[in-house]
Amino acid sequence: MKLLYQTHSPYARKALVFAHEAGLVDQIEVVHQETSPTHRNDLVFAENPLGKVPVLVRPDNAAIFDSDVICAYLDTLHDGERLIPAAGEARWQALKLPAVSQGLCEAGMAVRWETVRRPEALRYMPLRDGYVEKLVAGYDWLERELDMHGPIHVGHIAVATALSWLEFRELPDFRTTRPQLSNWLDEFGSRSSMLATPLSGETVD
């Protein structure tokens, strides 16, 4: 399998960290592909009509895209404990976290558009402020609700890769008043799956 990847994408990193945690990374060739809304990558568009990474290219089947779909597929390929709980309340609690994490990343990307990526004359600060509010509310929710002591699952991977990306991009701080979340991220960040997938690079517009 090939994973079309980007070293500064929190979504691509989520899929790759999941592959490490599932013990599947040796079966995947990671191929960096630079993409952005203003930088068309024809190779990625050929596999994903949205032109975004990550994309998992399979040798005998159609490509799979979207990080959550890739994680769900990878979870069917290993013999260990499932990283996506199969049923019951544990499943819904685990799947809720990737939804929150994706929303945090989307809000962070919107903040970046209104602060560093869009031409200065076109930036709209009230929109930026609205997305900052979403980030702050998300941080507070995670401080209260994240199960920091249970078995590792897809939700933990999603939260860790989202928060580390927000920090990498120097977006609004979550550490100052959220000690539990900060300590948990430091501990999770020391896992070999995270250390093997460092964030790097800049978006090409």
| Domain parsing of the chain, residue ranges | 2-74, 88-195
d(CA 51, CA 65): 10
Task: Give 171's contacts (C-beta < 8 A, 6+ positions apart).
Answer: 108, 111, 112, 135
d(CA 174, CA 143): 9
Task: Give 170's contacts (C-beta < 8 A, 6+ positions apart).
Answer: none
CATH topology classification for 2-74: Glutaredoxin (3.40.30)
Tokens (6 digits) for 24 = 């599947």
Q: Which residues pair with 68 in a beta bridge?
A: none
Tens-place pLDDT, residues 142-184: 999 999 998 999 999 999 999 999 999 999 999 999 999 999 9
* Domain 88-195 grouped into CATH 1.20.1050.10: yes
Low-confidence ranges of the chain (pLDDT < 70): none
Q: What is the pTM of this model?
A: 0.97
d(CA 117, CA 110): 9
Check residue 84 and give its pLDDT.
Answer: 98
At 174 the three-state DSSP class reads coil
Check residue 150 and give its pLDDT.
Answer: 87
